[in-house]
Structure 1
Amino acid sequence: MDRSAPFEETAEELLEDAPCGYLSTDLDGTLLRVNRTFERLTGLSREALVRRRRFQDLLSPGGRIYHETHYAPLLHMQGAVREIAVDIVRADGTLMAALVNSVLVRDDTATPRSIRTVVFDATHRRRYEQELLKARRREHDIAAELQRSMLSGALPLAARLELGVLYRPAVAGLEVGGDWYDAFPLDRPDTIGLVVGDVVGRGIEAAATMGQLRSAVRALASTDLRPGRLLGALDAYAHRHEVGRMSTVVYAELCTRDGHVRYACAGHPPPLIVAAGAEPALALGGRSLPLDVDAGVPRTEGTAVLPEGSTLVLFTDGLVESRTRPLMVGLNELVAAARRVGDDAPAEIVERLADDLGVRTERTDDLCVLAARVG
Structure 2
Amino acid sequence: MSDSGGPDVTQDLRPPWDEDPDDLYEHAPCGYLTTLPDGTIVRVNQTFLSWTGFTRGELVGHRRFRDLLTSGGQIYHETHYAPLLRMQDEVHELAFDVVCSDGRQLPTLVNSVLARSGTGQPRAIRTTLFNATERRQYETELLLARQIAESSERRVRVLQQIVADLAAAPTEAEVAEAVVRAPEAAFGAASSSIYLVDDERDVIYAVASTDPTTGNWDDMPRTSERAVARVAERGDLHVVPSVAEARTHFPDLVESMRRSGRNTVVLLPLTTGPADERSTVETLGVLAFSFKGERKLTDGELRVVRLLGQQSGQALDRARLYDEVRRREDRSKFLAGTTRSLDELHRLLPRTRRLIDRVVPEIADWAEVRLQVGTPALVEHGGGPRPDEELLTQRLGKVAASGEPVFAAEGDQLDCSVLPLTARGLVLGTLALRMSTNRRGIAAEQAFLIELADRAGLALENARLYEQERQIARTLQRSLLAGDLPGGDSRFAVETHYQAAALDLEVGGDWFDAFLITPDKLAVVVGDVVGRGIEAATTMGQLRSAVRALASSATGPAQLIEGLDRFVERVESARMATVAYVEVDLTDGEVVYSCAGHLPPLLQEPAGSPEYLLQGRSAPLGSKAGNKVRTEHRRRLPAGSRMLLYTDGLIERRTRPIDKGFELLAREWARRRDAPLQGLAATLADTLVGRDHSDDVCMLCLTLGAEERIERTIGADRMQIALLRADLRTWLVGHEVEPECRDAVLLACSEAVANAIEHGYRDDPFGMIDVVATVTADAVEVRVTDRGTWRGAVSDVARGRGLQLIRESMDQVLFDRSDGTTVTMRRGRLEVG
Shift of residue 325, structure 1, vs aligned partner = 3.0
Superposition deviation, residue 68 in structure 1: 7.4
Whether the 8 Å CA contact 2:535–2:573 is kept in 1: the answer is no
Residue 370 in structure 1 maps to residue 700 in structure 2: yes
Structure 1 residue ranges (4+ consecutive) displaced by more than 3 angstroms after TM superposition: 65-73, 140-146
Q: Could you tell me which residue of structure 1 aligns to residue 334 of structure 2?
A: 69
Structural mapping, 1:190-205, within 5 Å: 190-205=520-535
1:264 aligns to what SS in structure 2? Answer: strand
Find the partner of 1:351 among 673, 682, 686: 682
TM, length-normalised to structure 1? 0.61
The one of 171, 181, 191 equivalent to 2:512 is 181
Q: AA paired with 1:200?
A: V
Which of 590, 593, 598 does residue 268 from structure 1 map onto?
598
Aligned-partner SS, 2:523: strand
Deviations 1:76-108 (A, max 9, x none): xxxxxxxxxxxxxxxxxxx99xxxxxxxxxxxx
Match of 1:35 in 2: none
> 1:193, 1:252 within 8 Å by CA — same for their partners in 2?
yes
Helix, strand or coil at the partner of 1:186:
strand
Q: TM-score, normalised by structure 2?
A: 0.28
Higher percent of residues as helix: 2
Cα displacement (A) at 1:361: 3.8
Equivalent position of 1:331 in the other structure? 662
- 2:574 is paired with a residue whose SS is coil
Q: Which residue in 1 is equivalent to 2:564? A: 234
* CA distance in 1 between partners of 2:673 and 2:539 (Å): 37
State which of 523, 548, 571 in structure 2 corresponds to 1:218.
Answer: 548
Structure 1 partner of 2:646? 315
Q: What RMSD over aligned residues (CA atoms) do the two structures have, in Å?
A: 3.3
Residue-pair matches, total? 255
When residues 72 and 311 of structure 1 are mapped into structure 2, their CA distance, relative to the original with a 3 A threshold, is closer
Which piece of structure 1 moves more, 304-313 or 161-170?
304-313
Residue 593 of structure 2 aligns to which amino acid in structure 1?
Answer: Y
Change (3 A) 1:307 1:362: same
SS in 2 for 1:297: coil
- More divergent stretch after superposition (240-249 vs 150-159): 150-159
Describe the superposition over 1:5-33 as per-residue Cα deviations: whole angstroms up to 9, x where unpaired: xxxxxxxxxxxxxxxxxxxxxxxxxxxxx
* Alpha-carbon distance in 1 for matches of 2:336, 2:551: 61
Once residues 152 and 263 of structure 1 are traced to their aligned partners in structure 2, the CA distance between those partners, rounded to angstroms, is 20
Give the corresponding residue for 1:253.
583
* Rounded Cα–Cα distance in structure 1 between residues aligned with 2:696 and 2:580: 16
Q: Contact conserved, 1:262 with 1:301, CA < 8 A, in 2? A: yes
- Is the counterpart of residue 300 in structure 1 residue 565 in structure 2? no
Q: Is residue 652–residue 661 contact of structure 2 (8 Å, CA) maintained in 1?
A: yes
- Distance change (3 Å), C-alpha of 1:261 and 1:344: same
Confirm or deny: 8 A CA contact 1:313 1:372 kept in the other structure.
Answer: yes
Q: Percent identity?
A: 46
2:515 aligns to what SS in structure 1?
A: strand
* 1:141 Cα deviation after fit: 7.3
Distance 1:218 1:66, change over 3 A: farther
Structure-2 change in CA distance of 1:148 and 1:278 (3 Å): same
In 1, the alpha carbon distance for the partners of 2:588 and 2:568 equals 33
Q: Distance in 2 between matches of 1:172 and 1:258?
A: 44
Check conservation: 2:591, 2:635, Cα contact below 8 A.
yes
How far residue 241 of structure 1 moved from its aligned partner, in angstroms, is 2.4
Give the Cα–Cα distance (whole angstroms) in 2 for the partners of residues 327 and 312 of structure 1. Answer: 20
In the alignment, residue 603 of structure 2 is paired with which amino acid?
A: I
Aligned to 1:87: none
- For residue 255 of structure 1, report the CA deviation from its aligned partner: 1.8
Secondary structure at the aligned position of 2:685 is classed as helix
For structure 1, which segment, 321-330 or 289-298, has the greater mean C-alpha deviation from structure 2 after superposition? Answer: 289-298
Q: Which runs of 5+ in 1 are unaligned?
A: 1-64, 74-94, 97-133
Distance 1:362 1:155, change over 3 A: same
152 and 249 in structure 1: CA distance in 2 versus 1, 3 angstrom threshold: closer
Matches of 1:319 and 1:307, distance apart in 2: 27
- Are the structure 2 counterparts of residues 146 and 225 from structure 1 closer, same or farther at C-alpha, using a change threshold of 3 Å? farther
1:325–1:255: structure 2 CA closer, same or farther, 3 Å change rule?
farther
State how far apart, in whole Å, the 1-side matches of 2:603 and 2:704 are. 12
In structure 1, what is the equivalent of residue 617 of structure 2?
287
Question: Distance between the aligned counterparts of 2:609 and 2:565, measured in 1?
Answer: 34
